[in-house]
Structure 1
Amino acid sequence: QIAPLQRITRFITAQGGVPGIQLAHAGRKASTYRPWLGKQGSVKLEEGGWQPVGPSKIAFDPQHTPPRELTHDEIQDVIAAFVASTERALRAGFKVVEIHAAHGYLLHQFLSPLSNQRRDEYGSSFENRIRLTLQVVEAVRKVWPAELPLFVRVSATDWVEDGWNPDETVELARRLRGLGVDLIDVSSGGTSVNAEIPTGPGYQTRFAERVRKESEIATGTVGMITEPAQAEHILRTGQADIIFLARELLRDPYWPLHADDDLGGNKATWPAQYQRATSRANPIHESDLRD
C-alpha cells in the first residue's frame, strides 16, 4: 500500500496541504457491513466475515458477534501492529499521525468499563484500563519523528452512567502529554448503543475546552460545526486550538475557502480553474455557458 499512498501524499503536499493519517483497530466493531448497504451488525463467517476481538467477551449490541477476549500476548501484538503501521505511514509520506482511541474502537473498548471487564493488568481499575492506550502511544512516539505531530483521538464521555467520563479523559490527556502527544482530538460516544447523546451545534466543544485548560495540552474539537463564524468563535474563546471538519467538508470541499471569504480574510488561494467562481456574487455570463 505504500507506493499508492505516496502518490496521494505527494499530491497533497504539492497543493500546499499537510497529509495526515488516522490509525485504528476496530476491535469488537470489526467485521461489519458497509454502512451504505443498509445492513446492521456483524458479517457472518460464511459471507466473508471474521471473528472480532476485544478486551472482554461483550458484544457491542445483539446484532454484533461477541468478540474473543485478547490474550496478553495478542495485546502485545496489537501494540506492535500500531508501531508497524506508523513506520509504514512515515515511509508513505504522511506528516501527521493520529491514534484513534475513540468511538468504541479497540483502544476505547479498553478504556471504558462498559466494554472492559478484565481482571488482569489491562482491566478493572483506571490505571489498568488506560494501560494499552499509553503503551501504544509510547511505542508509536519512539518511531514517529519528534518534529512531526502526534494526535490522539478520544471520546470524552460514553454518555452512559458508570461509563468512561470527562474526569478520566482529563487525566488520560495529562498522561498522554507526558508521552509526547501534541494534541488531543476530543469527540464523544461510540461504545454504547443505548447512549442518549444531546447532539446540537458545538455540543462537544465544552469537553475540548476542559481538556485544554485542565490537562494543559492543545485540543481539537468536532461535531456539528458548520458555520465559519461558529468555528471562529470556538477558536477565539479558547475552547479549542483546531477545528476538525468531517461531514461539512463532504458537503462542501471548499468550505475553508468560503470561510476565509466570509470572515474577511481574503488570504485563500483558489485553484486557477476555480478562480472565476470564487465569489458567490459573480454573475453567470453567456461566455461561461460556452466554456
Structure 2
Amino acid sequence: MPDQKAGLPELRGDCARCFGLCCVALPFAASADFALDKPAGRPCPNLGADHRCGIHAELRAKGFSGCTVYDCFGAGQQVSQVTFGGRDWRTAPKERARRMFDVFPVVRHLHELLWYLTEALGLPAARPVHGELRQALEQTEALTGQSAEELAALDVAAHRQRVNVLLLRTSELVRAGVPGRKGGRGKGRDRRGADLIGARLRRADLRGASLRGARLIAADLTGADLRDADMIGADLRDADLTDADLSGAFFLTQPQLNAARGSAGTRLPRSVARPVHWTAAG
C-alpha cells in the first residue's frame, strides 16, 4: 500500500517552525511519564528561549518519556505560522497568547482527522466512500484555515463524530476483504474498546480485527499478526510488538508506536517510522 502521507509534511510536526506550543499549552502531571507537574499555559522549565527543548536527547532518561510519544500532526506550525502569522506567544499580549494556547489543541484534533482521512483515501477497498472521504477532507482542511476566534468556537467533537462515521465505514470495507475473515472465530473479531491490559496475545491471529479504542497497555503481542487491523485509538502504551506484523494495519499513528515496545523484526506500515528507542533497546 503506497504511503499517501509521504507528500504531506504539514501533517508531521516541524518543531523548527513552531513556538514550542506543546511545551506550553498542554498540562501534565508528575507520573511515570513526566517528572513534574505543569499546568496548561505555563512553559515547561526545559523549554529554552529559542523554543527548543533543553533535554531533548535525554527526555526518557530524565523522566519525560511522555514527551517522546507525543505528536501534534503538524498543528504546531499551522497555529504558529498560519493562524497567528508567525507571531510569537512570548512577545504577544497575554490575551493573544492565551488564545494561541486554546486554539492549538483544536487544530491538533483537526490535523489528526486529516491524517486518518488521507490514509482512508489511499485504501483501495474504501473506494465506495472515496467521494465522501474527499469531501470530509476538504471540509476539515477548510476548518484549519479559519481565524483564531472561529477555531476557538468550533465544536470539534461534532465534526469528529461526522468524520468517524466515514472512518468506521472505511474500516468495515477494508476488513471485509481479509481472507478467511467471514465465519472465523479469530480473524476479524470485533474488539472495539476491549480491555486487553496485560493480555497474553503472543502470536495471536488478529488479522482484520477491529481494535478501535482497545486498551492494550502492556499486552504481549510478540509475533502477533495485525495485518489489516483497524488500530484507531488503540492504547499501545508499553505493549510488546516484538516481531509483530503490522504491515497493513491501518489508522496507526506514530504516537501509538512511540508508546509501545518493538524490535528490528517488527513489520510496520510505510506511513510510520520505527521509533528510535526500539533500536536503542535492542
TM-score tier by shorter-chain length is: under 0.3
Question: Rg larger in 1 or in 2?
Answer: 1
If each structure's strand is expressed as a fraction of its own residues, which one has the higher value?
1
TM-score, with structure 2 as normaliser = 0.26
TM-score, with structure 1 as normaliser = 0.26
